[in-house]
Amino acid sequence: MPLGTWLKAATSATALVLAIAGPATAATAASGESSTAQAAAVTLRYDDSGAAGWEAAIAAGVASWNTNVSNVHLVEAAPGTTAEIVIVATTGWPQATLGPVRPGRQVRVELGSQAVDQGYDKTRIAAHELGHSLGLPDTKPGPCSQLMSGSSAGTACTNATPNATERSRVQSAYASAVTALAPAAGRTLVDAP
């Protein structure tokens, strides 16, 4: 069969498959998105009802993670539902249970005002503590460019974005449904300098 005839047949077959599949599948196929990749993301719910005064910082920290990783997605838990990440405000130093937390399991994040009183950025604190819940340990001492360097980067550091290595580690931790069923580590990390 000549190449031109083969290409015409392949194009016609593709058009027929998309027409039979329907507009939603055709739009997904045309945009190049993989519905399998979208379905593979692990959704984790967080409850910040006990974190008065930290709402904006939590929302910014969640947005930072949701923007930078695709294998896990953080959403606010509906009132009365169980959340995998429970976030509370405390008077001590920030601390969190080391994950990676899995659906149906639970970790705790304590956003401590002692760090804020000493000049640390609230959004960086929230994003850093969420990073612990997603399985990242501290990388102290470290530069401001490392979100998980925490307080060792100093009070002038306001970076709330995970770097490439941190993003890669979280992507790997939530890479498949099989790993999503593994237990969380469960150690509490206190982020005092």
Task: Quote the strand ranges of the chain, DSSP E.
Answer: 42-50, 72-76, 85-90, 95-97, 107-112, 188-190
CB atoms within 10 A of CB 122: 21
**Strand 72-76 to strand 42-50: parallel, antiparallel, or no bridges (unpaired)?**
parallel
Mean pLDDT of the chain: 81
Catalytic site positions: 129
Is 134:116 a contact under the CB 8 Å cutoff?
no
For 67, the token pair is: 């923007």
Q: Which of 58, 42, 64, 48 is nearest to 173 (CA)?
A: 42
Query: Cα Rg for the chain, rounded, in angstroms?
Result: 21
- Per-residue pLDDT tens for 72-124? 999 999 999 999 999 999 999 999 999 999 999 999 999 999 999 999 999 99
Mean pLDDT of 19-28: 37
